Structure 1
Amino acid sequence: MEYHRILEHIRRYGKNSETIDVLYVIDAAGKLIDDIRIKDVLMADPNVVVGDLIDNRLISLHANDPQEEAVNIFRMNNRVALPVVDEQGIMLGIVTIDDILWVANEEYTEDMQRFGGTEALDEPYLDVSIVNLVKKRSGWLVVLFFGQLLTATVIEHFEHQLASAIMLFALMPLIISSGGNSGSQASTLIIQAMALGEITIGDWWRVMKREIVSGFLLGLILGILGFIRIMTFQGFSDAYGEHWVLVGLVVGFSLVGVVLWGSLMGSMLPFILRKLGADPASSSAPFVSTLVDVTGLLIYFTFAVLLLKGVLI
């Protein structure tokens, strides 16, 4: 097609098109060959033909692609519109940036709801009936409730062994909250990186190595602060008795272990869920926190038994 015929075609059909920023070249069978930006047409030599404007750098969406992948392709390629093709490469239509912004907002909303430990709502909050709202929220609450029952079981198991070191129970929130916070941080970072296409399932080992190092360093920072807290309270009130150093070591070592474990669990759960075909956003902050609560108490009480056996217990 010659230059003047391109402009005639735009004048004839452009008025009813959703956008004319990009022109699409197809063959007689409807198979997409390439796309041409309108600025390249307007700035071209009047004697040019369509074949001279083709650069074979076509970017397209497939009809069966997940919505998240379409959002990522738009984000990475800075396009206002992209063509959609089927398995044979036949052009089915286009998707414009306003469509993708709507999809991205919908996906973001669903992810935020899952982060909070609930199923995604299919309509605005105020339009959801109370019955459906309860159904959406009850599932995860029941799962988290049974998870917390495991936490209670762990406490009951160690209760008699640690009965003579009651101050350790007062320090439990310090330990388990730190592990839950580190797990939630790691989970949020990995889920966001997955959503942006920055990491894939194949990057799990690289992520694990980074989280082992960062989790250990974060745990070390909190462990030192925890020991300083025990030392400070001991100085003012003699709250931990003559064996306060051992109590401080229990808290310090436990914080290192719990924060490291929380970081590993929080970062690996999204990979596991993605591998199983589930939504990584399901490894939300409450879910990660509950899992880390149980294992964190096991770590804490294990250090307590190892370091204080024969001394305080």
Structure 2
Amino acid sequence: MVDLTTHYLSLVKTKQWKTLKTSLNEKDAFQVSEIIENAPETDQKIILFRILSRKLATRVFRNLKHETKEEIINGLTHKPQSIVQLLNDIKPDDRTAFFQELPGKIAQQLIQHLSEEERDITNQLLGYPEDSIGRLMTPEFVAIQSSFTVLEAFDHIRKYGKDSETLNVIFIVDQDWKMVDDIRIKELILASPSQKIEDLMDSRFVALNAMDDQETAIQKFKKYDRAALPVVSEEGILLGIVTFDDIMDVEERETTEDFHKFGSFQEAIANPLKERVFKLYKNRIVWLVALVFMNVFSGAAISNYEGVIESMVSLVFFLPLLIDSGGNAGSQSATLMIRSLAIGDVQLSDWYKLIGKEILVSLLLGITMALGVAAIASYRAPEIVLVVSLTMVLTVMNGSIIGLLLPFLLTKFKLDPATASAPLITSIADICGVLIYFSLANWYFGA
């Protein structure tokens, strides 16, 4: 096989491309892999590989050692189409195994040289999860080395900064593209041209991990108030950046999804003016039918108190007002908790700290609302003022506590807290409200 490699390398040296291509493509994938592996120089390996047909190249690449694969990928970075074609042709399991071992520096070089469309493909091939920061990042940034002087840094920025997403912050890397710091452009402008970049560094910077969830990026942007944040690999290699406008798009999309869930939609509706009637119907009917069956329990509860209702018909007049108040209080509380959990103001372990405060707040709300309903009841049915007033206090407190705890409960079971929707909370509060109202009436009137 060494003699065969020597033969093909002599064809490379004498530039007999046609003979080389014809002969090499007649070999099987295993033989070609051995020939490439035996080539002593990287350039020779790359030439031999590039001359292969697309189908044969795919099979040969699978048989190569990992180090040789790296050499070939690294050598093809100036040919983006060749890389994308090759990576798309590799079987998913082989591709995943290769990229799991690929150094961050080579991954960064791949992304840096691809067009936007090809970059999206490569990000998927690199194995970044669908909702990861890696899917958001762009390679359009400027990085300088810590060994540069300020003058050299500005020369570099002028040369490579034209297409950068932002020049407010310049990222600093070492010779292996490992991120070591970032620096605001203002600091460079005010520094002496002969000053070294490393003398301006404080090694305090914030970076995102490419594999982290996009929600992490949202939290960090809010916490640090930055226009852009760098994205690094597990080894700390600078891969790209994420900008504030990209994060705002993600947050807007998640907020829209949460509102649809909160309204009990099965999936997001892009534009109700453009959607078909059947799709609008389909996205609303499931929850509504489910809630109808839940509300059967309210009817069953009422039927158990027919005696007290017959003896005090005026109780029915206040029933909608009381149970709606409980549902509304629950929806308010749930909205506050879902938002607080989403933006990180509240953690799952904080529920016990909030429940005491919510009991006090809902008690005050209930008493205030009870005073209003008591005024109405004293005019229309003074005999039930106490029952109506007590019910108002208890239903508002009950609804508020349900609205507080349900998002925490869903989060605990790894479910989206936004599914603690207004109709669900209202239905639970309705059932509880009916039981509270008529139980109090039954006790008070001794029916």
Give the 3 Å change call, closer, same or farther, for CA 38–131 of structure 1 in structure 2. Answer: same
How many pairs does the alignment contain? 300
- What is residue 236 of structure 1 aligned with on the other side? none
User: Are the equivalent residues in 1 in contact too, given 2:228–2:243 (CA < 8 A)?
Assistant: yes
Give the 3 Å change call, closer, same or farther, for CA 118–93 of structure 1 in structure 2. Answer: same
SS of aligned partner of 1:8: helix
Question: Which letter maps to 2:415?
Answer: A
Question: Which letter maps to 1:66?
Answer: D
- Choose from 312, 324, 341 the match for 1:165: 312
**Structure 1 length normalisation: TM-score?**
0.89
User: Are the equivalent residues in 2 in contact too, given 1:84–1:91 (CA < 8 A)?
Assistant: yes
- What is residue 385 of structure 2 aligned with on the other side? 248
Identity %: 39
Question: Which letter maps to 2:153?
Answer: I
- What is residue 218 of structure 1 aligned with on the other side? 365
Question: Which letter maps to 2:207?
Answer: S
Question: Which letter maps to 1:207?
Answer: L
- Choose from 140, 152, 164 the match for 1:5: 152
How do 1:153-232 and structure 2 match up within 5 A?
A: 153-232=300-379
C-alpha separation in 2, matches of 1:87 and 1:156: 63
Q: With CA pairs under 8 Å and 6+ residues apart, which has the higher RCO, 1 or 2?
A: 1
C-alpha separation in 2, matches of 1:308 and 1:56: 74
RMSD of aligned Cα (Å): 1.8
- Choose from 408, 411, 420 the match for 1:274: 411
- What is residue 7 of structure 2 aligned with on the other side? none
1:293 has 2:430 as partner: yes
**Structure 2 length normalisation: TM-score?**
0.64
C-alpha separation in 1, matches of 2:191 and 2:372: 67
Q: Shift of the alpha carbon at 1:19?
A: 1.6
- What is residue 203 of structure 2 aligned with on the other side? 56
Q: Shift of the alpha carbon at 1:59?
A: 1.3
SS of aligned partner of 1:82: strand
C-alpha separation in 2, matches of 1:70 and 1:131: 37
Question: Which letter maps to 1:286?
Answer: P
SS of aligned partner of 2:311: coil
1:138 has 2:275 as partner: no
Give the 3 Å change call, closer, same or farther, for CA 139–55 of structure 1 in structure 2. Answer: farther
C-alpha separation in 2, matches of 1:127 and 1:54: 54
- Choose from 177, 185, 190 the match for 1:38: 185
C-alpha separation in 2, matches of 1:91 and 1:152: 62
1:16 has 2:163 as partner: yes
1:87 has 2:249 as partner: no
Q: Shift of the alpha carbon at 1:289?
A: 0.9
How do 1:83-122 and structure 2 match up within 5 A?
A: 83-121=230-268
SS of aligned partner of 1:23: strand
User: Are the equivalent residues in 2 in contact too, given 1:62–1:86 (CA < 8 A)?
Assistant: yes
Q: Deviations over 1:251-309 (max 9, x none)?
A: 11111111001111111111111222222111122221111111111111111111111
Mind listing any 5+ residue stretches in structure 1 that lack a counterpart?
234-239
C-alpha separation in 2, matches of 1:168 and 1:64: 59
Q: Shift of the alpha carbon at 1:126?
A: 4.1
SS of aligned partner of 1:171: helix
1:151 has 2:288 as partner: no
Range moving further from structure 2, 2-11 or 142-151: 142-151
Question: Which letter maps to 1:11?
Answer: R
C-alpha separation in 2, matches of 1:88 and 1:300: 62
- What is residue 308 of structure 1 aligned with on the other side? 445
Give the 3 Å change call, closer, same or farther, for CA 69–126 of structure 1 in structure 2. Answer: farther
Give the 3 Å change call, closer, same or farther, for CA 64–303 of structure 1 in structure 2. Answer: farther
Q: Deviations over 1:93-144 (max 9, x none)?
A: 1111111121122122112222222133164434544443333222222222
User: Are the equivalent residues in 1 in contact too, given 2:308–2:441 (CA < 8 A)?
Assistant: no
Give the 3 Å change call, closer, same or farther, for CA 87–134 of structure 1 in structure 2. Answer: farther
Question: Which letter maps to 2:337?
Answer: I
* Higher Rg of the two aligned structures: 2
